[in-house]
């Protein structure tokens, strides 16, 4: 089988993150997986619900990522919710750790995808939105839609 060169194949995305957080800076990182987990991801099976990034020492871990067992694999040794190490450059890890510790930001996974045959995770440094900020962004989006509809009717 040849490598996938057509671009990206998105496995899972965290649409809720854009609603709950103000996304400040994004990072693309690799993820340390077992063979069965990669096979399960290639089948499009993963869930980013309740998933978050955590800085432990000089490493960044993804916790709460649910990857179900691969059907033809060994289900006895598979742990669907185990912490998985994210692979980043040292300067990126240091930057993320500094921002999380000093500014109180969160590390939120946005999507898991395959690019050139490699599994990648897009994570973002994010600040949680308050309830009134969420309402304001929804109202702004609705107003934008209404303006686009009105402009479309005039044509």
CATH at residue 63: 2.40.280.10
Q: Is 153 helix (H, G, I), strand (E, B) or coil?
A: helix
Q: Is residue 147 part of a domain?
A: no
Q: Is residue 68 part of a domain?
A: yes
Predicted TM-score (pTM) of this structure: 0.76
Q: Is 80 exceeded by the pLDDT of residue 96?
A: yes
- The domain of 78 spans 8-129
Q: Is residue 139 part of a domain?
A: no
Q: Is residue 143 part of a domain?
A: no
Q: Is 50 exceeded by the pLDDT of residue 3?
A: no
Local confidence band at 150 (pLDDT 50, 70, 90 cut-offs): confident
> What is the Cα–Cα distance from 154 to 60, expressed in whole angstroms?
52
Q: Is residue 99 part of a domain?
A: yes
Would you state the pLDDT for residue 109? 94
Burial class (CB in 10 A: 0-12, 13-18, 19+), 107: buried
Q: Is 80 exceeded by the pLDDT of residue 85?
A: yes
Q: Is 154 helix (H, G, I), strand (E, B) or coil?
A: helix
Q: What is the number of domains present in the chain? A: 1
- H or E segment to which residue 130 belongs: none
């Amino acid at each position: 089988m040849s490598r996938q060169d057509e671009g990206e194949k998105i496995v899972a995305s965290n649409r809720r993150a854009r609603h709950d957080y103000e996304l400040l800076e994004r990072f693309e990182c690799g993820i340390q997986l077992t063979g069965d987990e990669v096979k399960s991801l290639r089948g499009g099976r993963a869930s980013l619900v309740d998933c978050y990034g955590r800085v432990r020492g000089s490493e960044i871990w993804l916790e709460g990522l649910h990857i179900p067992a691969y059907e033809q694999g060994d289900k006895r040794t598979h742990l669907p919710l185990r912490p998985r190490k994210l692979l980043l450059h040292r300067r990126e890890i240091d930057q993320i750790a500094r921002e999380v510790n000093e500014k109180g930001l969160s590390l939120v996974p946005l999507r898991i995808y395959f690019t050139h045959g490699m599994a990648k995770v897009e994570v973002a440094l994010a600040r949680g939105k308050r309830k009134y900020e969420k309402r304001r962004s929804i109202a702004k989006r609705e107003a934008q839609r209404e303006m686009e509809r009105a402009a479309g009717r005039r044509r």
